[in-house]
Structure 1
Amino acid sequence: MAISKKHFALLLLLLAAYSTHLFAQANSKPITIGVTEGYYSKILNETRTINIYLPEGYNQTDTLKYPVIYIPDGGVDEDFIHLTGIIRFDTQSWVNRFPQSIVVGIKNINRRKDFTFPVANLDFLEKTGFKKEMFPAYGGSTNYIAFLQKELQPYIEKKYKASTNRTIIGESMAGLLLTEIALNHPTLFNTYIIVSPSLWWGDEALLHQPNALLQNKTHKPVNIYIGAPNRKEDEQMYQEAQGLYNMLKVDNRIRLFFDYLPDESHATALHQAVYNAFKMIYGK
């Protein structure tokens, strides 16, 4: 049966579309931003997913070593990708805000357990709007900090071209964790980027207890950025962030930055805060 001109033209269009599809498939490849590893922690007694970004031009045989930026909320579906984008931008040669860096994101399993310190009871939650049943497990920060110090940092610095110049970024519960580390284990990191920290945990205990950072008169200089979103959303959280700043500003070995973000909420503050933090700490 003869094919009409109309059907022939349609057939040619279909063949052209199919050929284009095959060409696109043959010439496509995935976009890669890093690698994912499983790391078994003896301290935590579990395997943690670690996401790692290596700078452009990274070569394992080079003598150059890179600063490392750690993200406790570092899953691919958490903060790893968008924060790595900021870091990649800021380390481009035409921006050159700070040196090219390795990024280590730690995917969460139970952040409310890992990022909180032990407390006698959860009665303080009544004032925060949280319910006790939302914290079936809590108080695991001691183990988590030991995991960072004794396992993950040595592993990264042995396997990769990593220096001991370390930054850590965290918001909300992770901001609480960072505050605990900065106050009680200040030498673990050189720079702390603390955003909208949940300092209400333990009835604001971190703001009132003695700490190693201020008591140790010989600690090395550290950078601490504190970002606070719109105070109208949560006045208590703003006041706590301001209280942390006021507590730390008495020590001139701390390069301290307080950043009020009135256009951001607790949910949106992190991305803008991290961009601001790098700009404030390093300039251009």
Structure 2
Amino acid sequence: MTITNERSYPHLGCEEHVIYAGVRRQEYRILISHPTGEAPPEGYPVIYALDGHAVFHTLAESARLQTRKPHGYDPVVVVGIGYPSGESFDMKRRCYDFTMPAEEQQLPKRPDGSQWPESGGADEFLDLLQLEIMPMIASLFRVDTQRQALFGHSLGGLLVLHALFTRPELVTHYTAGSPSVWWNDYALLAELEQFLAAYPAKALQRKLLITIGADELEHMVEDAGKLPGRLASLAEHGLQTSLNEFAGESHVSVLPAALSRLLRFALEKDEILEQV
């Protein structure tokens, strides 16, 4: 990984790093919000948020408010992973980074009739996160490895589920916002079945939060609603799964509510996870 630039914004308590990383040496913008207090004995919890330019500032400000002492949560490091375009949702880049390989005929038609951007780089992106970005954050802060969360929305939510099903060791808290379970004709469900068979032997304690707006597309609401039931058998093996459906919220308007719930999910102390 090559770091070419760093910008600090002391009045906002955050900084931006420009990096070139992954097998393609692509440019990423890493947005980091500094914790507002001393680290707990175990280190700082960390939240990694995809589509950084869409969610970072809302999440970082919410964390600043909700970690105020004496009654707030422990201070947290918020990391937004964005792209040089600065777009809230850079469709070309995120479509590659957040998806598993798919044939064009297995995908729905786009509203404007255009072809889908290149896809299939999910595992490359997770390698980048695991082998380059996470060590970078650990070099800057003392990190609590038992309180690390990954958040993604839409295609990002798909990636979060793919990460849980294929790399449950990556983080401890997985938050899939409005996940695009439909991708590649529901190929994710085959990963889910493999996960159901493999997870009990791993002896892990993990948490999954799924969020959805009640006014999103009907099939997305139904897909999200089915996941807790599909995963229920793993509760006795250490996987805690919860679903939050937000009334009156659509695919984009649900984001602030999902981010607020993410903080509670990621920062509340859990006695079981603390013993891992």
1:225 corresponds to 2:206: no
The list of structure 1 runs, each at least 4 consecutive aligned residues, that deviate by more than 6 angstroms after superposition, is none
Cα separation, 1, equivalents of 2:62 and 2:212: 19
Of 101, 116, 122, which aligns to 1:118?
A: 101
The answer to whether the Cα contact below 8 Å between 1:157 and 1:163 also exists between their aligned partners in 2 is no
Cα separation, 2, equivalents of 1:202 and 1:100: 39
Give deviations 1:85-119, integer Å, cap 9, x for gaps.
222222111442x3211111111361011001112
**SS across alignment from 1:170:** strand
With normalisation by structure 1, the TM-score equals 0.79
Change (3 A) 1:191 1:270: same
Of 102, 105, 124, which aligns to 2:77?
A: 102
Between Structure 1 and Structure 2, the one with more strand by share is 2
Structure 1 residue runs of 5 or longer lacking an equivalent are 1-28
1:80 corresponds to 2:56: yes
The answer to whether the Cα contact below 8 Å between 1:114 and 1:141 also exists between their aligned partners in 2 is yes
Change (3 A) 1:30 1:274: closer
**SS across alignment from 2:183:** coil
**Following superposition of structure 1 onto structure 2, how do residues 173-188 of structure 1 map, counting pairs within 5 Å?**
173-188=155-170
Cα separation, 1, equivalents of 2:121 and 2:95: 8
- Tell me which amino acid in the other structure corresponds to 1:187: E
CA-based RMSD:
2.5
Change (3 A) 1:57 1:279: closer
**SS across alignment from 1:203:** helix
Cα separation, 2, equivalents of 1:30 and 1:277: 25
Please say which of residues 157-166 and 236-245 is displaced more in the overlay: 157-166
Match for residue 67 of structure 1? Answer: 45
**SS across alignment from 1:167:** strand
Change (3 A) 1:44 1:91: farther
Match for residue 273 of structure 2? Answer: none
Q: CA deviation at 1:151?
A: 1.0
Of 143, 160, 172, which aligns to 2:154?
A: 172
Cα separation, 1, equivalents of 2:167 and 2:22: 21
**Following superposition of structure 1 onto structure 2, how do residues 128-277 of structure 1 map, counting pairs within 5 Å?**
129-130=110-111, 133-164=114-145, 165-209=147-191, 210-212=193-195, 214-217=197-200, 218-231=202-215, 233-252=216-235, 253-277=238-262
**SS across alignment from 1:89:** helix
Q: CA deviation at 1:170?
A: 1.2
Greater CA radius of gyration, 1 or 2? 1
With normalisation by structure 2, the TM-score equals 0.81
Q: CA deviation at 1:32?
A: 1.9
Cα separation, 2, equivalents of 1:153 and 1:30: 22
Cα separation, 2, equivalents of 1:245 and 1:177: 17
1:34 corresponds to 2:18: no
Q: CA deviation at 1:37?
A: 0.8
- Tell me which amino acid in the other structure corresponds to 1:49: R
Structure 2 residue runs of 5 or longer lacking an equivalent are 1-8, 84-89, 270-276
Cα separation, 2, equivalents of 1:167 and 1:247: 22
1:48 corresponds to 2:33: no
Change (3 A) 1:132 1:151: farther
